Structure 1
Amino acid sequence: MSDDLRTEYRIEPLTAQQVHDRAAEGLALLLRDAVDGGASVGFLAPLGHAEAAAWWRGVARQATEGVRSVWAAYGPGGALSGVITLVRASMPNQPHRGDIAKLLVHRDARGRGLGSRLLAAAEAGAREEGLTLLVLDTETGSAAEGLYRKAGWTRAGTIPDYALDPSGTPHPTTYYYKRLTRG
């Protein structure tokens, strides 16, 4: 990875308050950009600004409760360019596990390795918390699948018609997992 990318984009964890404060602006806009671009991230198009901001305020509550962590990527001039979240498993028999959710990179920042850097930041955060297994799901055939495979994730299987894309069309979803080693 080039040093230019490391200096051009900075990644940092967000506190619950920072997520709350950025919910109505940068985070909501980033989520809307993903949905508008056809990403299957849990929402149907058109995604309204109020709905996107409300979802992020819910993420802020989860962060306050210690359920979810958030990392953000900022580009030139401080613009929010990407985000990723880590959700801790809630069941007593799964304290070692977490889910990667909402890896979003703004369409203007794609193709520069930012998704890989965000994923690595979340994996490092999970290791620091003592998690040893991560899981995620993604739309089968999406560009994200290549990113996950390249980052060492293992395909677990595919479920047909699992989720609707933003236009409402059912698509298969593929699950991936990654075992983390303590470093």
Structure 2
Amino acid sequence: MTLTFKLDPVIDPALRDGVLTLWTDVVNAGGAVGFVPPVTVDDIRPEWLGRLTELSEGRTRLLVGYDEQGAVAATAFLTRNGHRLMKHWIWLYVVMVHPHHQGKGYGRELMAAAEDAARTFEGIEAIRLTCRGGTGVDRFYASCGYKEVGRVPDAIRVAPGDDREDIMMLLPLH
């Protein structure tokens, strides 16, 4: 069993609902994708709408992994860097695999598909991402070839008295 990936899928109600459900389920399972649990689809929706704007403007691309039933099982957003001196790398963010599918190797498949997708951007030499300290996900990204390039202490406040590092990682594409 493997995922089927689609870069720049048609945004329709089924995709919208699939991404919103995935994002909600990932957060509520403890995933560090911009929120802390508990959340509802309505909590996630404004962030999704912001991503739709970026998609429509061509600044961001969406990578979706579908499971064998055709359901949204994984996603990642790839965004061009807007700074004129940093246009040679892109951001990878909101990297998610549905909790029901974790442990099947889908995360590695998603990261490989994201790397392939990044290579379709003209002039891109590296992928940059950040992750929340204290989750262990930095070890996963390192196992996918990403190198830690910095940490900002106490940059992410998940609750009063619970501050986490913002870990920056980079994957050169040469």
Query: Which structure exhibits the higher relative contact order, with contacts defined as CA atoms closer than 8 Å and separated by 6 or more residues?
Result: 1
- Same fold (TM > 0.5): yes
TM value normalised by structure 2: 0.89
TM value normalised by structure 1: 0.85
CA RMSD of aligned residues (A): 1.9
Q: Tell me which of 98, 104, 107 is aligned to 1:112.
A: 104
Give 4+ residue runs of structure 1 displaced > 6 Å after superposition.
none
* Between structures 1 and 2, the one with greater helix share: 1
Report the alpha carbon displacement of residue 101 of structure 1 after superposing the two structures with TM: 0.2
The answer on 1:157 being equivalent to 2:145 is no
Question: Take 2:5 and 2:67, find their aligned partners in 1: how far apart are those partners?
Answer: 9
Report the alpha carbon displacement of residue 142 of structure 1 after superposing the two structures with TM: 2.3
For 1:177, the aligned partner's letter is L
For 1:59, the aligned partner's letter is R
Aligned length: 172
Report the alpha carbon displacement of residue 179 of structure 1 after superposing the two structures with TM: 1.0
Question: Take 1:137 and 1:20, find their aligned partners in 2: how far apart are those partners?
Answer: 29
Distance 1:96 1:22, change over 3 A: same
Report the alpha carbon displacement of residue 21 of structure 1 after superposing the two structures with TM: 5.6
Can you give the 5+ residue segments of structure 1 that lack an aligned partner in the other structure? none
Once the two structures are superposed, the pairs formed by residues 1-183 of structure 1 within 5 Å of their partners are 5-6=1-2, 9-15=3-9, 17-18=10-11, 22-23=15-16, 25-130=17-122, 131-165=124-158, 169-181=162-174
SS at match of 2:11: helix
Q: Deviations over 1:33-56 (max 9, x none)?
A: 121112222123332312312322
Report the alpha carbon displacement of residue 140 of structure 1 after superposing the two structures with TM: 2.1
